[in-house]
Amino acid sequence: MNYTENLISKLQGKTTLIGIVGLGYVGLPLMLRYAEAGYRVLGFDIDQAKIARLNAGKTYIEHIPAEAIASAVAKGFEATTDFSRAGEPDALILCVPTPLNKYREPDMSYVLGTTDSLVPHVRPGQVVSLESTTYPGTTDEELLPRLESTGLKVGQDIFLVFSPEREDPGNPLFTTRTIPKVCGGITPACREVGVALYGQVIDKVVPVSSTRAAEMTKLLENIHRAVNIGLVNEMKIVCDRMDIDIHEVIRAAATKPFGFVPYYPGPGLGGHCIPIDPFYLTWKARAYGLHTRFIELAGEVNSAMPEWVVGKVADALNEHGKALKGSRILVLGIAYKKNVDDMRESPSVEMMEILRSKGALLSYSDPHVPKFRKMREHDFDLESVTLTPEILATADCVLIATNHAKFDYAFIKQHSRLIVDSRGVYTEPAANVVKA
């Protein structure tokens, strides 16, 4: 049997069952897109509570409406924790986390553990696609031998591709369908199958020569952002010392119609990509005797930002005759970026840890995170407070950590004694606002 032609035909005809492994911020939107396009989808996850919610047509991610989940269920979507069913789908798309360990080295346990759970159940005529951001070589060094340990030949009996996820939660301008999809295969046949896998649900698929090229593409995208954010964060420190408003400078520079792209400073990097992905390349580069000094320096600058902002809070309180220890600090926004409920790697939470360690009394307000959700390294027994004149007035310092659109910044400025603005919300000088 020619598995290549048969699988491509089924994918293009939408007669395949699509398996999505990992139903989080990446896997869930992808599931919805396949269901919307007319495919049957089987979702896999290890979280039984999450599975129960999804099968009931409910959501657990703020920007993904329950109506969309319920619509997918009505079209045949099913979620399961039973990985022995991995032989049912014709495609297995892996959307699992790739965090760093405490030494800032790649933690591949989710990818490799998931792969090991799937391997006993894979069969001829399937395509396996890894979407998790990782170092160049992961697909061919780790997944390829695991799949071929079954006796199946990759590129002939079974197909293996890498197609990095590109999600921007909370951005209404781009959807899973409209964001171009890079895809590289172990063999030309794998790449051809990969293009067929995504071609019916993504407006533009971008084939590349290998899985390594696809893996490096994702790293370059996020390293590009991390390095430029590191640059502008360093410029912020210089401008602060020189009593220049970095945001005014950026706005002015952005009027140049060529050769300049505006990046904006903040209290640090957050999310599941930009703070993490550069370290995947620096780790792998060491195996080749290379040191990525430029990338590592940007990482150092960005990692130092939460501490720097806390220093600005301490200085601002000092100017008001108060010590940081014992002061009431109201943190506005604990998600990693505006208008989402995602707290992964949030610099806001890092600043809360530093403030707590220095004896500050903390509270927070975040319309997207009503209760602090326990994280792997962080836990606060706090719930979001409603911003009232009394709440704002009783805070010794209001720290704008994440600039959600739902905040009424004029109201906040009117009723707060002291504001430390780490996001450049306030463009005009004010007696009670300190830029950080």
- Considering only CA atoms, which of 114, 123, 178 is closest in space to residue 7? 123
For the chain, the helix, strand and coil percentages under 3-state DSSP, each to the nearest 5? 40, 15, 45
Q: Give bridge partners of residue 320 from the DSSP assignment.
A: none
365, 426 Cβ separation under 8 angstroms: no
Q: How far is CA 418 from the centre of its chain?
A: 32
- Considering only CA atoms, which of 332, 390, 410, 392 is closest in space to residue 365? 332
- Encoding tokens for residue 115? 């792969």
Active site residue 95: no
45, 362 Cβ separation under 8 angstroms: no
| DSSP notation for 258-275 | SS-------S---SSSTT
| φ, ψ at 312 (rounded to 5°) | -65, -35
Q: Give the active site residue among 95, 239, 273, 397.
A: 273
Q: Burial of 67 by CB count in 10 Å (0-12 exposed, 13-18 middle, 19+ buried)?
A: exposed
List residues with catalytic annotation.
273
